[in-house]
Amino acid sequence: MDHAATGQEALSRIAGADDLDTLESLRVEFLGKQGSISGLLKTLGKLDPEARKVEGPRIHALRESVSEALAARKDALETAALDARLASETIDLSLPAPEAPRGSVHPISQVMDELAEIFADMGFAVATGPEIEDDWHNFTALNMPESHPARAMHDTFYFPDRNEGGREMLLRTHTSPVQIRTMLSQGAPLRVIAPGRVYRSDSDATHTPMFHQIEGLVIDKGIHLGHLKWTLETFLKAYFERDDIVLRLRPSYFPFTEPSIEVDVGYSNEGGRRVVGGSGDAPGHAWMEVLGSGMVNRHVIAAGGLDPDEWQGFAFGTGVDRLAMLKYGMDDLRAFFDGDVRWLSHYGFSALDVPTLSGGVGTPV
């Protein structure tokens, strides 16, 4: 049997294989279970001992040489394929990496930060209080009598249990109880804002059972309506980032202030949305109420543990959600709390977009 000729033919064909698939076919042909070289190994069992001693080493040497040739050719083909791929494919390392998915700051949180930044610049501190409140802090201390409509079951979320003092418990309907608690704990003079969640039994496109308010309180000696007007004008100009904000003050009634004032701002309709700015009496403009305010009622000052003959003050309050809608163009309050990622991606803010008065208190992403 001419093993040398068989080996030469196998090595020649292996060297001529130009791809990995062809090389694999040759491996099966020579070394597979039914391969030609594997068949030679099987014939050794049929030879006599003397012939086996002669043929065995030759056949094993042939098998080893073919295996080595297959491995070497495979390495060469793989190296050539990699070189070709590197030559044809390029990576521009100067391009920025794809942006990873990221969350956003909710408009309510952003506006809360904007308001805190604006009022901090005017010397106001942030005060907080419990959302589960008793009826004395929520109603009685704020000069709201037992017959006041806000105390009705259909307007307020009451709890079935009373506190240790026998007072009814409820979800606060405004952040005004924080003003009472702050006066009782800190005394006067006082300059605070009270932002937070409040709850009322109401739901439509512009009202939700839970929403956000911010209220302000200033207690000092010699405080008058001029101080209130300046504060509100400065606040609204900074928030809407416009110098042409025009206020209209109208007499109103709130049990916790006397006199009480509704504050309107001029606006125009542009592109289907309300844009705050200019006088409401100008052509193409109108007036819109944005907040309530007034001089703190003397009964409220007394409930806060202060002498109303010595201390005076003003208070104001507005909806944070409504301010966000006016500034950033949302038209349905319910969308704020739907948790729709598409809405949040559109109206959300970058976590690094920290409000500053010098850089503009808020710019959407």
DSSP, res 336? G
Whose CA is closest to 172, among 190, 196, 149, 206? 196
Structure tokens at 197: 């969640």
What's the full length of the chain, in residues?
A: 365
What is the Cα 132 distance to its own chain's centre? 26
**Please, where are the H alpha helices in 159-219?**
176-186
* 3-class state of residue 98 by DSSP: coil
Q: What is the Cα–Cα distance from 146 to 140, expressed in whole angstroms?
A: 8
Angle at CA 102, nearest 5°, toward 100 and 108? 165
Residue with tokens 């439509």: 204
133 labeled binding residue: no
Q: What is the Cα–Cα distance from 187 to 304, expressed in whole angstroms?
A: 8
Whose CA is closest to 314, among 234, 207, 252, 223? 223
Structure tokens at 129: 């209080």
Number of C-beta neighbours around residue 134 at 10 A = 22
Examine residue 259 and say whether the peptide bond preceding it is cis (omega within 30 degrees of 0).
yes
Examine residue 189 and say whether the peptide bond preceding it is cis (omega within 30 degrees of 0).
yes
Q: What is the Cα–Cα distance from 296 to 204, expressed in whole angstroms?
A: 31
Amino acid (1-letter code) at residue 54: V
Give the dihedral sign, CA 213/335/337/365: negative
Residue with tokens 């000069």: 143
Q: What is the Cα–Cα distance from 61 to 244, expressed in whole angstroms?
A: 97
Annotated binding site for Mg(2+): 258
Annotated binding site: 258
